Copies of this chain bind each other. A is one copy, B any other.
Amino acid sequence: MQQELKVTLTETIKILLDEKKFNTLRDILVTMKPYDIAAVFESLQDEKMPILFRILPKELAAETFVEMDDETQEFLIHGFSDSELKEVVDELFVDDAVDLIEEMPANVVKRILRQADKDMRKQINELLKYPEDSAGSIMTTEFIVLSPDMTAEMAIKRIRRTGVDKETIYTCYVTDDNNKLIGITTVKDLLLADDDDAVKDLMEENVISVNTLEDQEQVAQKFSNYNFLALPVVDNENRLVGIVTIDDAIDVLQEEATEDIEKMAAVLPSDKPYMKTSVWGIYKKRTPWLLVLMLSATFTSAIITSFESALSSVIVLSSFIPMITGSGGNAGSQASVSVIRALSLGEIQFKSIFKVLWKEFRVSILCGVTLAVANFIKLMLFDLNGRDNAFLIALVVSLTLIGTIIVAKLVGSSLPLLARKVGFDPAVMANPLISTVCDSLSLLIYFGVATVVLHL
C-alpha cells in the first residue's frame, strides 16, 4: 500500500518539476523523509536532479544526499558549484563524509576535501587511516564528553550547549584528564537523577568498548547482544577516539547477512544493490565460482568413467545418479547452513566440533533411514517394477542413500568449523563447495555398494 503511494508521489513530483512549480515541490519535499526523497532522485532523469536538489532546504538536502546511491551522489557533485558542495559537506556528520569519500573517484575526493573546513578535514583523514571493515572505519568522532566531577545539572547544560551537531546525545562518555574512558552515562539517567548528583556516582563504570581495529561484524553483534544505542571505540591505550551508533550497526548486520547468503550461493560478495550492478559486474561476481565448481566436477566424471564397464552392464544405475548426488548435496547444505549461521550469531565455537558431529551423526541416521525406506518402496512399486534384479538394485540405491546422507551431514557440519579454525570465512564452505565434495563421496559409495551387492 505505502509502496504504491510512494510511486504515485514520485510521478506527481516529476510532473511538478516539468511544470516548474518549485514552491509546491518544496512544500511536498519538506514533509518527506530523506530515504524516500533519495528514492525519488534515483528515478529521475539526470538533468532534473540538480534542479530538484536546489529546491531542498540545506539540512534536508544533506540528509537526503547521504541516503543516495554512489552514482547519484557522484553525478550531483559534478554539477555542484564549489559553494554548493561546501554547503552539503558542512552539514554531513564526519562518518557519513568518510563513507562518501570511500566511494568516490580520486578527483571528486579532492574537491570534497578542499571544501571541508580544516577541523573536519583533519577528522576525515584520521578516520580514513583505519582498515576497511574495522570499528574505526565506521565510527564517528562527534560525541558528548563529560567529566566525572560534573553534577547532573551541569551535564544536562553541557549537552544542551554542545548537542546540536552530535550524532547521538543519549549516551554520554566520561573521560579522565588523559582522555581515557572511565565510564558512560545516559541522558535518561541524568534526567531521572537529582540535579546535584555527581556524574561519577551516576556513571556505569563497567563499560563495554571495542578497539579501533576490531572487526565491524563483531562490533555489530555486540549491539544485538547487549541492546546498546552506541558503543565507544578506544585505542590501545584505552583513550576514547570515537563511537559507533546503532544505525551504522544495523547496516553492518544487514550487509554481513547479505554477504553470507551470497557466499553460500557461490557469488563473490559485493556491497552494491542488485539492480544497480551492471551485467558485467554481476558476471564478474558469479563466474569465478562457477568455473571452480565446474572444474572440480572433473572428479565426479572421473569416478563415473572408472566404473564405465559396471555401469554399462546395469545401465539403469546411471538414472539414479542425480537423485543420489542431489540428496547428498541437500543434506550436506542443510547441516552446513545450520552451523554457519550458529557461528555467525556466536552460538557455537570450534571447540564444540565433537558435540556438533555427534548431533549431526544421529540426525543423519534418522534422515538417512527415512529417505532410504521411502525410496525403497518407491523403487519397488514404480521405477523398477518388473525389471530384472529389481530388489537388489533398490537395495543398492537405498543403502547408498543412508551412507551418502551420513557422510554429507558430517562433511557439511565440520567444514565450516574447520574453516573458522584456520581463519577462513565459514560461509564460503557452504552449499556448492560441499556439494562437490559430497557428489564425489556419494558416487564412490554408490559404486562401492553396487559392486558388492550386484557382484559387478
Contact = CB atoms under 8 A, between A and B. Distances in A.
Interface residues of A, number: 115
A348 B318 contact: no
A106 interface: no
A363 B282 contact: yes
Contacts of A370: 287, 290-291
Contacts of A274: 338-339, 341-342, 347-348
Interface string A242-272: 0000110111011001101110111100000
Nearest to A283: B366
A283 B296 CA distance: 30
A227 interface: yes
A432 interface: yes
Interface in A329-352: 329-331, 333-334, 336-342, 345, 347-349, 352
Interface string A301-323: 11011001001100110111111
A203 to B, nearest CB: 13
A322 B300 contact: yes
Interface stretch (A79-87, A125-133, A155-163, A175-183): A155-163
Contacts of A75: none
Given A321-B318, A326-B435, A327-B293, A286 B159 contact: no
Interface of A: 3, 31-33, 35, 156, 159-160, 163-164, 169-170, 187-188, 191-192, 206, 208, 223-227, 229, 246-247, 249-251, 253-254, 257-258, 260-262, 264-267, 273-275, 279-280, 282-283, 286-287, 289-291, 293-295, 297-298, 300-302, 304-305, 308, 311-312, 315-316, 318-323, 325-327, 329-331, 333-334, 336-342, 345, 347-349, 352, 355, 359, 362-363, 366-367, 370-371, 374-375, 378, 382-383, 401, 405, 430-432, 435-436, 439, 443
Contacts of A224: 250-251, 254
Contacts of A308: 315-316, 319
B318 A311 contact: yes
Given A337-B261, A342-B273, A225 B35 contact: yes
A341 B254 CA distance: 10
A298 B363 CA distance: 25
A172 to B, nearest CB: 12
A264 B264 contact: yes
The winner among A156, A286, A329 for most chain B CB atoms within 10 A is A286
B383 A290 contact: no
Nearest to A246: B246
B371 A294 contact: yes
B266 A264 contact: no
A323 B301 contact: yes
Contacts of A32: 206
Contacts of A286: 331, 334, 363, 367
A327 to B, nearest CB: 5
A166 to B, nearest CB: 9
Contacts of A289: 330, 334
Given A291-B371, A341-B261, A345-B258, A191 B169 contact: yes
A339 B258 CA distance: 11
Contacts of A432: 330, 333
A226 B371 contact: no
Contacts of A246: 229, 246, 250
B191 A163 contact: yes
B333 A266 contact: yes
Contact of A170 (B164, B187, B339): B187
Contacts of A439: 322, 326
Contact of A287 (B169, B311, B366, B443): B366
Contacts of A169: 188, 191
A339 B267 CA distance: 12
Nearest to A225: B35
20 contacts: A3-B349, A33-B206, A163-B192, A170-B187, A187-B187, A224-B251, A249-B250, A265-B337, A267-B338, A275-B342, A275-B352, A287-B367, A290-B405, A294-B371, A298-B323, A298-B383, A300-B319, A300-B323, A304-B319, A318-B321
